[in-house]
Amino acid sequence: MKQVSTPEFHEYSAKVIQNARALCAALVERGEKISTGGTDTHLIMWDLRPHDLTGSKVEKTLEAMCITVNKNSLIGDSS
């Protein structure tokens, strides 16, 4: 709790949210579908169904590029 109360952590947190918003905006600009319509937090729910991709495939690809993500089930997922 001590770390999260520091000004440095608050600055870091604000940058994480700013970066998530920028990534989300860039995805939308390129025609990607965001399940939640955007983001106000550090989370982006990118709908991969139009590309016929699964979250696990994209997770492994991004992980190989040192980008950490997780796959979540969304409405309409078959598994």
SS3 assignment, position 34 = strand
CA distance 39 to 41: 5
pLDDT in tens, 15-38: 999 999 999 999 999 999 998 888
* Lowest-confidence region among 7-11, 31-35, 63-67, 73-77: 73-77
pTM score, whole prediction: 0.78
The domain limits of the chain are 3-47
Q: Which residues contact 34 (CB under 8 A, 6 or more apart)?
A: 24, 27, 28, 44, 45, 46, 47
- Which one, of 72, 64, 29, 68, lies nearest residue 48 by Cα? 72
Between CA 18 and CA 12 the distance in angstroms is: 10
